[in-house]
Amino acid sequence: MRLSEFRQAITDEFGVAYGQVVTSDLVLVGLGDRTPEQALASGIPPREVWLAVCQAADVPLTRRHGAGLPAQPRG
């Protein structure tokens, strides 16, 4: 996952305004008590940060595929 795909996945899942709050304020315990922005700035891969956000925010497994990847079949 590229950084641009991470940003799109955040926007798709949370919307523009709340997505900005999530990336700047949500503390991810599994990534060293960093926010997503801090984690990305420290070199943690966007995909790893995305999955940590999904876990912390209880994003359903069916929506964790993220941007840039084929959507999971619904059904």
pLDDT tens-place values along the chain, 75 residues long: 999 999 999 999 999 999 999 999 999 999 999 999 999 999 999 999 999 999 999 999 888 886 555 555 555
**Rounded to whole angstroms, how far apart are CA atoms 24 and 19?**
9
Q: Is residue 54 part of a domain?
A: yes
pLDDT at 70: 52
Report the domain count for the chain: 1
**Tens-digit pLDDT profile for residues 47-68:** 999 999 999 999 998 888 865 5
**Rounded to whole angstroms, how far apart are CA atoms 31 and 2?**
18
Domain that holds residue 50: 3-59
pLDDT at 65: 82
CB 52 within 8 A of CB 39: yes
pTM of the model: 0.85
Q: Is residue 15 part of a domain?
A: yes
